[in-house]
């Protein structure tokens, strides 16, 4: 290629050398006097698939069939030339996404904006120069006519560049695999993009490394990954394939994070194949099936019929499922709502186990608008009416009419759900409401535990928050909340009435003391220094001995929400 460019350059210089002495009539080559080349008429083309992407004229014509600010139901592929790129390096550093304008070659007047897109393989960009003017790109994502005047992709990394100058980094929206002809594990390990994959569950892994000996570990947390192989008897770590399951319906329904009995069962999953744990694995799993039951959104359902969004999220006018999905989608992927909302729907499926009820008292089930099976909202790890723990998995049945109350999030951009860990609850079940209508959400001891080490304040979900139990100074079955990991800071929220309050806290065995900060919004209420404790080690249940020195007090002048944070692992109990 370099030789060709040099040849062209030298030939051009040769022509110039032989003509430069000739008389050239003005205004030849005088800047600003060139004849403007008119735009070519480019006809709309393409169907929006990977094999037949829209050209820019085609996607603009498609978007013009949508109402202003209405997203397309399906993601599409768009092919064009980069006309301009206004992204700053600070945007790349902070967000990793990029905004640039696309055109069809020969026509500069019809434009399409690739708005806040990620790079090939759905990975963040590292430099503005990753996309240059003149590059030929294929972009994949949902599209919208913003304000009725700007055809563009849906922002905040919801779309991405599938290829640059015909080279892609994986993570494509379609693949050669189908539900009927899925990839084997051996094939999946050398593939990329969204694919169907079939294999047998051969183990689980907790943590961040794929190590020999970890593959048959009994899962202990919601972050558990499953490991697949082509045979149910596989024992070689080199032949296994890690799969990250979402925190919502699929994982709970398959019971993969709590049931090692699923070992050797065959599963069929759909998701994005990417580098994961240092090897190729499946991330962003969006659909799965096991034992004849399917969970998640089947990518084969291309014609998803949804109800008209209704409601405003209040008790008097709750969102319907379509309304809740629209609300969380507009928030952006993984952005939690600022306030609690009410969502009304019909229970489509409930795969909560009695073991989950016994251990946690919360429940996960799928809600739909009656008659619209494919648009789903996940009531994730919710408590029962009155913000009390459920006592049986049969407390919520398929066909029940429910209203749930709590904060909501579009997890990973593909699972609209409540925020989990008991931070939301069922406000109404078949028209019946409980007398407790505090709307506090969250956990807390609703079991009338009056011991010194019981927790009575209602708490909400947070980052790296794990519920457990502990024996404190000989008192058994005390609720214990652990935040943080060896490398990640943790936090959670408390719903606090005005007055004085207290809690016990210890940090991890063998570590330095840690600062715990309590804030209301941006206002710091108090900072306390928590001491290490020999009993703060391993996993729940813990056995801990504390003194009055491990008890801390704080006071608020009005009802408020308190955020509790620390950059080290902390165990809390006795929060009153």
Q: Could you give the residue range(s) of every CATH 2.60.120 domain in the chain?
A: 458-573
Give the chain's end-to-end CA distance (angstroms, integer).
Answer: 72
Read off the tokens for 317: 């006018």
pLDDT at 256: 55
**Long-range contacts for 41-45 (Cβ within 8 Å, ≥24 apart)?**
41/107, 42/104, 42/106, 42/107, 42/110
Minimum mean pLDDT among 201-210, 330-339, 341-350, 509-518: which range? 201-210
Query: How far is residue 215 from each of residues 54, 153, 189, 240, 494, measured CA to CA in Å?
Result: 44, 40, 17, 9, 37
* Closest-CA residue to 341 (of 324, 358, 325): 324
Whether the predicted pLDDT of 517 surpasses 70: yes
The pLDDT score that the predictor gives to residue 33 is 43
Give the closest residue to 282 by CA, choosing from 267, 290, 271: 271
CB distance 266 to 198 below 8 Å: yes
CA dihedral sign of residues 129, 132, 138, 143:
positive
Give the pLDDT score at 291: 66
Question: Is residue 239 packed enough to be buried (19+ CB in 10 Å), middle (13-18) or exposed (0-12)?
Answer: middle
Residue 286: φ, ψ to 5°: -115, -10
Q: Which two tokens stand for residue 207?
A: 């943590």
Q: Is the pLDDT of residue 572 over 90?
A: yes
Q: What is the pLDDT of residue 491?
A: 87
Name residue, tokens 């015909």.
Answer: 166
CATH architecture of 458-573: Sandwich (2.60)
pLDDT number for residue 522: 86
pLDDT of the residue at 258: 47
For 525-552, give one letter per residue: b (16+ CB within 10 A) or e. beebebbbbebbeeebebebebeeebeb
Q: Taking a C-beta distance cutoff of 8 angstroms, is the pair 460, 419 a contact?
A: yes
Give the pTM. Answer: 0.34
Contact 544, 479 (CB under 8 A): no
Q: What is the pLDDT of residue 24?
A: 35
Q: Is 377's pLDDT higher than 90?
A: yes
Q: Between vectors from CA 480 to CA 477 and to CA 481, what angle results, nearest 5°?
A: 155
Q: Please write the tens of the pLDDT for every residue from 103-112.
A: 998 898 899 9
* pLDDT classification of 50: cutoffs 50, 70, 90: confident
Contacting residues for 242 by C-beta, under 8 A, at least 6 apart:
205, 210, 225, 226, 227, 276, 277, 279, 281, 282
- The pLDDT assigned to 548 comes to 92
Gyration radius of the chain's alpha carbons: 28
CATH 2.40.50.140 fits 321-433, yes or no: yes
Euclidean distance between CA atoms 565 and 195, whole angstroms: 39
Q: For 429-477, give the secondary structure using H, E and C.
A: ECCEECCCCCCCCCCCCCCCCCCCCCCCCEEECCCCEEEEEEEECCEEE
List the structure tokens of 518.
Answer: 């309590």
The answer, yes or no, to whether the previous bond of 259 is cis (omega within 30 of 0) is no
Percentage helix, strand, coil, to 5, in the chain?
15, 40, 45
How far apart CA 235 and CA 229 sit, in angstroms, is 9
Domain with CATH 2.40.50.140 in the chain: 56-168, 321-433
Give domain 185-296's CATH architecture: Beta Barrel (2.40)
Structure tokens at 181: 């002809």
Q: How far apart are CA 23 and CA 183, in angstroms?
A: 68
Q: Which CATH architecture has domain 56-168?
A: Beta Barrel (2.40)
Report pLDDT digits (tens) over 150-171: 999 998 878 888 888 875 544 3
The answer to whether 385 touches 421, Cβ cutoff 8 Å, is no
Q: Single out the residue of 152, 536, 160, 510 nearest to residue 333, CA to CA.
A: 160
pLDDT digits (tens, 9 = 90+) for 403-455: 999 999 988 777 899 988 888 899 999 888 753 333 333 444 434 445 788 88
Confidence (pLDDT) at 529? 94
């Amino acid at each position: 290629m370099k030789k060709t460019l040099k040849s062209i350059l030298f030939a051009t210089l040769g022509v110039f050398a032989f003509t430069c002495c000739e008389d050239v009539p003005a205004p030849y080559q005088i800047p600003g006097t060139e004849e403007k080349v008119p735009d070519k008429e480019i006809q709309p083309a393409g169907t929006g698939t990977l094999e037949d992407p829209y050209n820019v004229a085609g996607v603009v014509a498609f978007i013009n069939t949508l109402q202003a600010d209405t997203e397309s139901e399906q993601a599409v592929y768009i092919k064009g030339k980069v006309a301009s790129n206004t992204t700053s390096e600070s945007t790349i550093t902070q967000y990793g996404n990029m905004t640039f304008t696309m055109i069809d070659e020969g026509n500069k007047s019809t434009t399409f904006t690739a708005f806040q897109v990620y790079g090939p393989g759905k990975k963040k960009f590292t430099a503005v120069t990753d996309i240059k003017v003149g590059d030929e790109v294929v972009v994949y994502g949902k599209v919208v006519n913003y304000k009725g005047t700007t055809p563009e992709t849906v922002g905040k990394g919801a779309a991405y560049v599938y290829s640059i100058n015909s080279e892609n980094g994986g993570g494509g929206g379609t693949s050669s695999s189908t539900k009927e002809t899925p990839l084997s594990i051996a094939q999946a390990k050398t593939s990329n993009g969204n694919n169907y994959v079939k294999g047998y569950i051969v183990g689980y892994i907790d943590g961040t490394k794929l190590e020999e000996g970890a593959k048959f570990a009994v899962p202990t947390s919601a972050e558990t990954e499953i490991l697949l192989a082509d045979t149910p008897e596989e024992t070689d770590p080199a032949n296994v394939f890690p799969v990250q399951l979402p925190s919502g319906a699929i994982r709970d329904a398959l019971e993969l994070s709590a049931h090692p009995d699923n070992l050797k069962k065959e599963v069929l999953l759909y998701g994005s194949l990417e580098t994961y744990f240092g090897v190729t694995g499946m991330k962003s799993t969006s659909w799965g099936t096991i034992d004849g039951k399917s969970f998640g959104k089947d990518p084969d359902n291309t014609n998803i019929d949804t109800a008209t969004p209704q409601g405003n999220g209040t008790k008097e006018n709750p969102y319907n499922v379509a309304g809740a999905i629209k609300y969380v989608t507009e928030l952006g992927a993984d952005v939690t709502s600022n306030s609690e909302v009410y969502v009304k729907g019909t229970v489509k499926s409930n795969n909560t186990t009695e073991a989950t009820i016994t251990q946690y008292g919360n429940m996960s089930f799928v809600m739909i608008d009656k008659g619209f099976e494919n648009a789903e909202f996940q009531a994730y790890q919710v408590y029962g009416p009155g913000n009390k723990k459920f006592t049986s998995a049969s407390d919520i049945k398929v066909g029940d009419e429910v209203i749930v109350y709590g904060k909501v999030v579009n997890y990973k951009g593909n699972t609209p759900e409540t925020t989990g860990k008991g931070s939301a609850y069922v406000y109404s079940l078949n028209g019946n409401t409980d007398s407790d209508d505090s709307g506090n959400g969250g956990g807390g001891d609703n079991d009338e535990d009056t011991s010194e080490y019981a927790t009575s304040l209602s708490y909400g979900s947070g980052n790296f928050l794990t519920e457990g139990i502990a024996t404190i100074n000989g008192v058994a079955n005390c609720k214990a909340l652990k935040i943080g990991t060896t490398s990640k800071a943790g936090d959670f929220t408390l719903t606090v009435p005005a007055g004085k309050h207290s809690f016990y806290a210890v940090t991890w065995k063998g570590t330095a003391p840690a600062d715990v900060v309590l804030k209301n919004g941006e206002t710091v209420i108090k900072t306390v220094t928590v001491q290490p404790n020999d009993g703060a080690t391993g996993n729940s249940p813990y056995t801990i001995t504390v003194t009055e020195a491990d008890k801390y007090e704080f006071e608020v002048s009005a009802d408020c929400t308190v955020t509790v944070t620390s950059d080290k692992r902390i165990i809390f109990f006795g929060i009153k």
